[in-house]
């Protein structure tokens, strides 16, 4: 079973002005002369973390991490009033291209899970000549059926107890409607207490359902840091989902021919509730050149042992 590579620190980092008053945080670690790989984080709104550098052999890869607009160390942060009207999928694709050019990278491997798989696919389809391989985990194609499954009651059949906490901020009389729309109103409330409660419940729902075997909550964050994370994660994620991800329904499968020639690996937990296996299977059927690894004893999280194993196997395979 493959384990993480050792902890490393970035050798370079900064903020890139991408227009619209936005500056995205980026960092590079590993081998400056190694094969470029870009890590596309989840959410949207999740931000990056140091452990994500460890999916790559630091002797062979030039590892690029960046925080998408409004979250992580990018500026301005959603908690500081970042403008969500300039935070869309086309904006994020353009940001990735600006970053690639800024770092003087000709082509790079795209690695992403959950929403990172969505944005990774969308970027690759927009710029197929700039992608060497795709390593994707917990596939999310941003179809309406996937949103409804997870946020409008499907997953409640598996996690009815946790679902109660997700419903808690929502008025009883509105619980039979489109809960993504209801949450949008709550998260954009002018009452900070209402927005804070909604952000905690939305974020907590995903945190509680991502692992096959629940893990005790481990955090060293201050209450303010936790609130900032919750607000970025929930507000940006909901903004995308209420706007259908700024994609046509089924677009990523419809445009799959544009990346048919790009080597890929898909890693999927069999018991992923957040992004059920149906999407990984549909992607694999449409893109047979991509290898599919179904992890029999895993849920959604990239840090689960079987998922981590196959992701690192994939980056090792493509390192040469």
20 a catalytic residue:
no
Specify the pairing of strand 61-66 against strand 22-30.
antiparallel
Q: Which of 70, 45, 84, 89 is nearest to 244 (CA)?
A: 89
Give dist(CA 70, CA 236) in Å, integer: 8
| Residue 53 in tokens | 């550098």
Give dist(CA 213, CA 304) in Å, integer: 9
Q: Which of 237, 307, 241 is nearest to 271 (CA)?
A: 307
| Residue owning tokens 């600006």 | 98
- Maximum Cα–Cα distance across the chain: 59
Catalytic residue, chosen from 272, 284, 302, 310, is 272
**Per-residue b or e along 223-237, where b marks 16 or more CB atoms closer than 10 Å to that residue's CB:** eeeebbbbbbbbbbb
176 a catalytic residue:
no
Catalytic residue, chosen from 41, 239, 284, 300, is 300
| Residue 73 in tokens | 């160390």
Q: Where are the beta strands (DSSP E) in 33-93?
A: 35-40, 61-66
CA distances from 92 to 45, 131, 193, 305 (A): 12, 16, 30, 30
Catalytic residue, chosen from 29, 74, 114, 302, is 114
**DSSP one-letter code for 127:** -
114 a catalytic residue:
yes
Q: Which residues does the annotation mark as catalytic? A: 114, 272, 300
């Amino acid at each position: 079973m493959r384990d993480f590579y050792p902890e490393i620190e970035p050798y370079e980092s900064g903020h890139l002005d991408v227009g619209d008053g936005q500056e995205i945080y980026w960092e590079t670690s590993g081998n400056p002369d190694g094969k470029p790989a870009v890590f596309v984080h989840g959410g949207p709104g999740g931000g990056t973390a140091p452990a994500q550098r460890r999916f790559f052999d630091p002797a062979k890869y030039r590892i690029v991490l960046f925080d998408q607009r409004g979250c992580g160390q990018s500026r301005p942060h959603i908690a500081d009033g970042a403008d969500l009207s300039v935070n869309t999928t086309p904006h994020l694709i353009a940001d990735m291209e600006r970053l690639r050019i800024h770092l003087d990278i000709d082509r790079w491997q795209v690695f992403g899970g959950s929403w990172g798989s969505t944005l990774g696919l969308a970027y690759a389809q927009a710029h197929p000549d700039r992608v060497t391989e795709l390593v994707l985990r917990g596939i999310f194609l941003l179809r309406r059926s996937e949103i409804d499954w997870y946020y409008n009651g499907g997953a409640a059949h598996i996690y009815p107890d946790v679902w109660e906490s997700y419903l808690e901020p929502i008025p009883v009389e509105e619980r039979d409607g489109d809960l993504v729309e209801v949450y949008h109103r709550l998260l954009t409330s002018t009452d900070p207490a209402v927005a804070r409660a909604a952000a905690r419940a939305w974020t907590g729902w995903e945190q509680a359902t991502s692992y096959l075997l629940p893990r005790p909550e481990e955090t060293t964050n201050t209450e303010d840091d936790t609130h900032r994370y919750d607000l970025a994660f929930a507000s940006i994620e909901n903004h995308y989902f209420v706007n259908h991800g700024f994609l046509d329904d089924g677009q990523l499968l419809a445009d799959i021919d544009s990346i048919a020639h790009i080597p890929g690996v898909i890693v999927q937990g069999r018991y992923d509730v957040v992004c059920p296996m149906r999407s990984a299977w549909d992607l694999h059927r449409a893109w047979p050149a991509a290898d599919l690894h179904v992890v029999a004893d895993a849920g959604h999280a990239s840090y689960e042992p079987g998922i981590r194993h196959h992701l690192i196997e994939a980056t090792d395979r493509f390192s040469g």
